Structure 1
Amino acid sequence: MAFHQILPIIIGLFVVALLIYFVIRQKRKVRKLQVEGVGTIIQVKQLITNIQQHRGWCSAYLRGDKSVIGDIQQLQRKIAQTSLAIENQFSIKKFERWFGYSEHWKRLSSSATGLTADNSFKQHTQLIGNMLYLLEDIAESHFLTKEQLGEFPDISLLWRELLQVSECVGQSRALGTGVATVKVCSRVEKIRLGFLRQKITETAEVTYAQLKDNQSAENRQKLVSLIEHASKQTRYLCSVIEHELVECEQIQLDAKNYFSLATEAINSLNQIFDFKLEELERFLVKK
């Protein structure tokens, strides 16, 4: 075969090899971003958990329980350390919402014990809402979506519905702790707590069912166990909110006991989140 006949074949093979090289290179680049994204999300999620706790303790403090000032100060130190670690380890500063968080937290932490209870709750809740949107931004920019991860069709449930349930529990912890501190539940607080109780109940059960449906057989038993535990914790919390805060004529519930109860519910939801993140991380490292 003459050289001029072989040449197009050689060029064609070279082009195919080049395309394969770029495809593999792009896949590796995406995989690296995905692994980095999971690491970033884990740290930012911990930050959100700490700010949710800070909101709860501030609620107790501003309603008269001055004994929690040490918990507030400890959390502020932990949040500062975690924020610095995130900035040093990950390219978080490229996100506009991170800048918004940094500026808002700086103002809030310095004035946290001097606000009204209502303003403190609103400021914390607005800040946490921004952080939850930040998690979605991180997931999208690091290709952690079901379009890029067909093996994890329920991935968006982690950033949205599951964390929405956790945040509703966090809000009920802050409001309920304040109510249990003063032993009085105002009409507005009854409405707020009633709304949160209903939202927790409805969103949690739907989310639990979807997570079960989309789980692979390999880790299904472990996930089902975690979901059943979380379901038990959230149902019990909702029962306490209804019977010992909202519909109770004379509140006897201890504020710190209620805080611990709500924290247990949040921890059970976090265990599901952590389990799914660890599963995703193993998949990305192995592949």
Structure 2
Amino acid sequence: MSWDLATTEAVGLGVVLAAVAVLIVRLRRRRSDWRAEAEVALADCVSLIDLLKALQQHRGLSTGWLAGDRQFETRMQARRRNIDAMMSVVVRAAEHESGQLRPCFRVQEANLFRHRWRELIDRLPNSTPEQNIAAHTQQIEVLTGMIASLGEARLELPAVGSLPTGVIRNFAYRLPALAECLGQARALGSAAAAAGRCSPVARVRLMFLANRAERLLRQAADAERECASVRTACHQVDRLAQTLRTAILGDRLTTIAADTFFAIATDAIDQVFEWIRVDGDALSYMLESRDCETPVSASRLGSI
């Protein structure tokens, strides 16, 4: 009787151990699958952010050109060719999403995005600076929406407790939104500087953009440990905001050359994109490490 009881207990223990082993294998596989999907999504975000930067540059260059400053034309044409070559990254990201139960965006949306870019270029010579800014901004809003959706669905939500939420939100939402604020300010400010005056409508918009940029900058800085990229970006954004308020919005007539203002704005935007790159590299490092499932503090990422 005691032998039967011992046998039963042993069999029961074996069943429990087997169930635990199966559960561990499934959890490891799930973690591995999540990490692989996150790595793909992160790479797609990086490519889309590169496209975002190029579109913003083209908006600023083409708006200055339409406002009468022909110095922008050569760089505008070069940036346009670069964007044409980069458009395939949107379709590739959509193809990666096609296997998901709830894709962030679809291939049809990616193709529509490319089609509207070609329409924008076809209409550009007959557009006003204001129309050009609006058309570019609509495209960029779609693109930043794609980046934010990928960041939330493929990085932030699956990585709760494993990767720092603040860094993910900076990488996929706050910093792209900040770069877009500055990009709009660059386009509007360059047009105003080229025209020699800032219209009342542009003045209101630029004041709003400056205030929003400063708010997003504070939120992003509060979410991470201070490091060189953060300090430099904060300095350059503050410099741009000050230039806007004194040289573009200070008097009825602007007191800065379009090319000079464009360069100051570009310095600020480039530093924000450098901050995005640092965050992306840090997230990539953590995804590739073997202890990816272990909670990670933002302070550790700040030192990478």
2:9 pairs with 1:11: no
- Cα distance in 2, alignment partners of residues 149 and 39 from structure 1: 21
C-alpha contact 1:98 1:134 (8 A) present in aligned 2: no
Matched, 1:224 2:237: no
Of the structure 1 ranges 133-142 and 26-35, higher mean CA displacement relative to structure 2 is found in 133-142
Letter in 2 for 1:20: I
Match of 2:301 in 1: none
- Say yes or no: does 1:234 pair with 2:246: no
Query: Match for 1:157 among 159, 166, 170?
Result: 170
**Unaligned ranges ≥5, structure 2:** 99-104, 291-304
**Aligned match of 2:147 in 132, 135, 154?**
135
Is 1:284 aligned to 2:287, yes or no?
Answer: yes
Provide the rounded CA distance (Å) in 2 between the counterparts of 1:236 and 1:160.
23
Change (3 A) 1:25 1:150: closer
C-alpha separation in 1, matches of 2:251 and 2:142: 34
Q: Secondary structure at the match of 2:223?
A: helix
Contact 1:34 1:144 in 2 (8 A): no
Spell out the pairing of 1:26-41 with structure 2 (5 A cutoff).
26-41=30-45
Distance 1:251 1:171 in 2: 17
Contact 1:145–1:156 (8 Å) recurs in 2 = no
Q: 1:82 aligns with which of 78, 86, 108?
A: 86
Deviation at 1:273, TM superposition (A): 1.0
Q: Map of 1:134-213 to 2, 5 A cutoff?
A: 134-145=146-157, 147-154=159-166, 155-212=168-225
Alpha-carbon separation, structure 2, partners of 1:93 and 1:65: 42
List gaps (5 residues or longer) in structure 1. 213-222
1:114 aligns with 2:126: yes
CA deviation after TM superposition for structure 1 residue 93, in Å: 6.4
Number of residue-to-residue matches in the alignment: 277
- The aligned residue for residue 244 of structure 1 is 247
Q: Post-superposition shift, 1:45?
A: 0.2
- CA deviations 1:51-87 (Å, max 9, x no partner) are 0011101111111123323222211221121222554
Deviations 1:79-134 (A, max 9, x none): 12122255458735632353442232122123223222111111111111111110
Deviation at 1:5, TM superposition (A): 5.2
Relative to structure 1, the CA distance from residue 205 to residue 141 in structure 2 (aligned partners, 3 Å threshold; closer, same or farther) is closer
- TM-score computed with the length of structure 2 as normaliser: 0.84
Q: 1:59 corresponds to which residue? A: 63
TM-score normalised over the length of structure 1: 0.88
Deviations along 1:115-161, one digit per CA (max 9) or x if unpaired, are: 22111111111111111110122123323448535431302133222
Q: Distance in 1 between matches of 2:25 and 2:111?
A: 38
Does the 8 Å contact 1:63/1:181 carry over to 2?
yes
* Alpha-carbon distance, 1:251 to partner: 2.2
Residue identity matched to 2:151: A
Asked whether the equivalents of residues 93 and 99 of structure 1 are also in contact (C-alpha less than 8 Å), the reply is: no
User: Does the 8 Å contact 2:188/2:202 carry over to 1?
Assistant: yes
RMSD, matched Cα: 2.1
- TM-aligned CA deviation for residue 252 of structure 1: 3.3
